[in-house]
Every structure is written in C-alpha cells, then in structure tokens.
Chains A and B, each alone.
Chain A
Amino acid sequence: MTIVGTHVGSRRLPPPHARTPLLSRKSPLFSLVQLAVLLGGVTWLIYSGAQAMEYNWQWYRVDRYIYRIVDGEFIFGPLLRGLGVTLEMAVWSVFLSIAIGMVTALLRLSNSASGRFLATVYLEGIRNTPLLVQLFLFYYVLAPILEIDRFWAGVLCLSFFEGSFASEIIRAGLQSVPRGQYEGSDALGFTKLDRLRFILLPQAIPLILPPMTGLLISLIKHSAIVSVIAVADLTTEGMNIISETFMAFEIWFTVAAIYLVITVSLSFFVSWLEHLMKRHR
C-alpha cells in the first residue's frame, strides 16, 4: 500500500468544487439572474418598441382564438383547429417521407445503375430547388393532373422534400451496420429482403430513430409553408385572424409559442425514448 494516512484522510473530504458559494459566478443563482436580466431586456425592448409605434396590446382578446367555452362546452378556436391540420399533415408526411426515404436509400445502395441514377436525380432535384418553388409545382402542376386537393398537394410536397433527408438518414444507418453482418446473412442464403428485414434494419433502427425524430420536428416547422397555398394550418389561421383583428404581435407570438410547445415536447419525448432504449440494451 502506498497511500499513507494523511492522503486517505484528504480523500474523504468532498471535492473542492462540490459546494459553490451562493453568490459566486458559478452558482446556479447567478445563471438564473443572468437569464432573467436577459429575458427582461428583450421583453422591454419589444414592449418599448411597441409603445413607440403606439401599438395597442390586446392580449385579453387572444384566448378566444385558441378555445372558447360556451355553455360549459369546449369549442376549439381557429388556432387549435389550425394546429390540428398542421399535425395531421405532419403525421401523413412523416410516414410518406419515411417510405420515400426508404425506397430512395435502397435504390442508392442497389446494384442497379438506373435505380441509383433515379435516386440521385430525385435527391439533387429536391436539394437544389427552393421548397417554395416545389410547393408551387405540386400545387399548380401536379395537383390538377393528379386531381388532389390543396391539403394533399401540401402533404406530398412536404413528403418528397423531407423524404430526401430521410433517405440520407436511412442510408447512413444501413451503411453503419458492419460488413460482417451482410456476409453473415448472405452466407446463410437469406434473400435480400429478409436480410434487410431481419438483420440490417433491426440493427440500423436505433441509429436511425433519433435523427428521424429531428426530421419530424423540422417537418412540423416546414409545414408552415403550406399557408401560401391556403391550406388551413396553424400559420394560415394566424394570418386570417390578424387580417380581421390587426393583432399582429399577439397572434404571431401565440402561433410561435404553439409551434414551440409542440416541437419542444417532441424533443423531450425523444430524449426520454432514447434514454429508455439505452437502458434496455
């Protein structure tokens, strides 16, 4: 034993940084005060700016656009109804973009030259044109041809847009499965589909899942763009309310807050899921 008495004694003391004085720069209290000052400053800036342009704050009028209670009955306001449309679009789009991403990823990894070419054309086309232009193409060109309404034009546009990202996520996931797993399953004579289903995907999904939920979050945010083709989503409802009431500040803050609540709770849900998956390993 090389550790002598005094040494052992000193090891039993708490580490030097365990207790921070309440008023030091490292204490949580200091951070909280810092944050409060910062937020207060920003709020004051907006408020005084609004005062200077003699903006008439009418927060008391906002709640009726979220929900109303008439005769004890809960009635969804236009903003919540808009949120419903936004979420409906997001759910459809996330499934479609995973399907599109899966097909594209498999085409890119396939032996078929025409398959790889097709996937590359799709990916480059989507990545190198503005989302807004894609939306107009879907709405003004494809929708009349396919006879679909503006909601589905929006959903399809978002799906193809996010599908390009999904395909890269899935491709990266599949490629991160070690070479030996491909060979091990090939040597047993699995068909390519079985190899994917039983060997590759189960190993790739834990790697695919976290970035895929990031995709869902960006999908919810990107879905605001469908307001330009007048799908009645959260953003469109916000614009409509403002054109009636001129409460631009209040409504846009509210709309942003609703998006924020949804996306932030999704992120928390995802980190909880990841935590759960790690524990199950």
Chain B
Amino acid sequence: MSESGGDRYMLEMQGVGKWFGNFCALYDIDLQVRSGEKVVVCGPSGSGKSTMIRCVNRLEEHQAGHIFVDGTELTDDTKNIELIRREVGMVFQHFNLFPHLSVRRNLTLGPIRNLNLSKNEADERAMQYLERVRIAEQADKFPSQLSGGQQQRVAIARALCMQPKLMLFDEPTSALDPEMISGVLEVMVELAQDGMTMVCVTHEMGFARQVADRMVFMDSGEIVEVAPPDRFFSDPETERTKLFLSQILSH
C-alpha cells in the first residue's frame, strides 16, 4: 500500500467497519501501531473494543476497510489468515487453554504444528517462557489444576511461544479474582519493557498509566479519542471520555 509503504506499521487499520446484522459494531476505525508500541484500548462495555482487536486475527471478519499486520493485508484466503494468526498472539479473558493437554503440551503444540519446530526445540522454548511467567514448576500439570491467575500466565506463555510480532490482550484480568490480577499484570509489564508490540483491551488504568504509549478510547463502535496517557487522564478532550473516566476512576 502506498499510504503505509514508507513508514511500516506493525498494525494498521484503515476505515475498518463491522456489523452484526443491522447493528454497527465498528465504524470507520483508523488505528496505526508502530513496532514496539503499547496501546491500551478502553471504553464502556459494548463499545467495540474486543470486536476491534478480534478483527486483527480474524476471529471476527471485518466487512469494510483494510487491516495490515506487519505490512501484509488480512484477506479471506485461509492460508493468509493462518499465517497472520501465527504472527499475532492473543490472550483471552477466559484463557481458552486446552483442558485435555498438560501445560507443557498447551505451549508446544502450536510451535510444533505451525512453526515446524522439533519436539525438543518446542519443549525448550516452552520452559523458557514458562520461567518467564514464573510458573515453570507447573509444566506437567493440567490447566484445571491451576488457579485463574496461573492459567492466564500459562495462556500468555502459550501465545509467546509462537514468538509473535504483536500481542493482543482481550481483557486479560477481567475474569480473575482480585488477588490474582497483580501477578498477571506484572508479567504484562515485563513483556512491555522487553519491547513487545502490544494492544491491550483492559480496565486496569494503573497498568495503562504505567506502560501505555497511547490510550485509545472507544464508544459505540468508534474511536473517540487517542492520546498519551498523561494527557488522557489529566485533560481528556471529549465529554464522553470525561464521563467514562469519572465513572471508572471515581472510587
């Protein structure tokens, strides 16, 4: 693309639109994320935050506009979708670990099948990332034997094992007990410090202040405001942003 050709973005969304029936879930979304940049997306529930990042790896299909991941456009072609998914890691609200596989197998199956790693290479890589999320000793347990926070850290490690260029987080701490949240956030902060390109949908504003390069505020399927976190929190431009911030920061 000529517009994106000069300055390569890790993720570029141009005029992306998405409808569920007649309901417009995303309208004219423009977003560019540079390599190494951390973007935190927030907004009221139903504002399209999840839908937006789920379009990036085609868990939802966008019906208008263009999405580029590291310069490659996301198309309807199955192979193209599979390749992009292998470069984009995703962490879900409900972990979505495979319950019938051990933690180790959860981490190695993707690299073995989709990156053609040998079993030993994949094992080695799995242990490396499990150590990074401080859960290596649980490698041979099954997901159901772990706490929610541990499961989410395994899920992060599983995504990292694909060595993605871009990580998407879809409300990674929303389903966790309060005491489990900090462990997951710590791992995410470290990941950010290591230079990973991240797009996080989250309500953890402390985390946002700490790592975000830019805040994106969405409402009813549109991006309403994009700003660096200090200005976003201290001096939001729009009324809608002010209202949202007052609601979530009031207590």
Closest residue of chain B to A195, judged by CB? B113
Asked if B98 and A199 make an inter-chain contact with CB atoms under 8 angstroms apart, the answer reads: yes
Q: How many Å from the CB of B140 to the closest CB on chain A? A: 16
Tell me whether B96 and A184 are in contact (CB under 8 A): yes
Q: Are A183's CB and B114's CB within 8 A? A: no
Residues B113 and A190 in contact, CB atoms below 8 Å apart: yes
Looking at the complex, which one of B82, B88, B92, B95 makes contact with A191 (CB distance below 8 Å)? B82
Contacting pair B85 A189 (CB below 8 A)? yes
- Classify chain A: how many residues form its interface, as a range: 10 to 19
Q: Which of A180, A186, A188, A202 has the most CB of B within 10 A?
A: A188
> In the complex, which residues 138-196 of chain B have their Cβ closer than 8 Å to any Cβ of chain A?
158-159, 162
CB < 8 Å neighbour of A187 from B83, B109, B159: B159
With an 8 A cutoff between CB atoms, is B15 at the interface? Answer: no
Q: Please give me the residue from chain B that is nearest to A179 by CB atom.
A: B96
Decide if the interface of chain B is mainly helix, strand, loop or mixed. Answer: mixed
**Across the interface, do B85 and A202 meet the contact criterion of CB distance under 8 Å?**
no
Is the CB–CB distance between A188 and B92 below 8 Å? no
A203 at the interface (CB under 8 A from B): yes
Other-chain residue from B83, B86, B92, B162 in contact with A180 (beta carbon distance below 8 A): B92
Q: Is the CB of A187 within 8 A of B57?
A: yes
| A265 within 8 Å of B (CB atoms) | no
Q: CB within 8 Å of A: which residues of B?
A: 57-59, 78, 82-86, 88-90, 92, 94-100, 109-110, 113-114, 158-159, 162
Q: Can you add 18 more A-B contacts, CB < 8 Å, to A187-B59, A188-B110, A188-B114? A: A180-B92, A180-B95, A184-B92, A184-B95, A186-B57, A186-B58, A187-B57, A187-B88, A187-B90, A188-B109, A188-B159, A189-B110, A190-B114, A191-B82, A191-B113, A194-B113, A199-B98, A203-B100
Where the two chains meet, the residues of A that have a C-beta atom closer than 8 Å to any C-beta of B are: 180-181, 183-192, 194, 198-199, 202-203
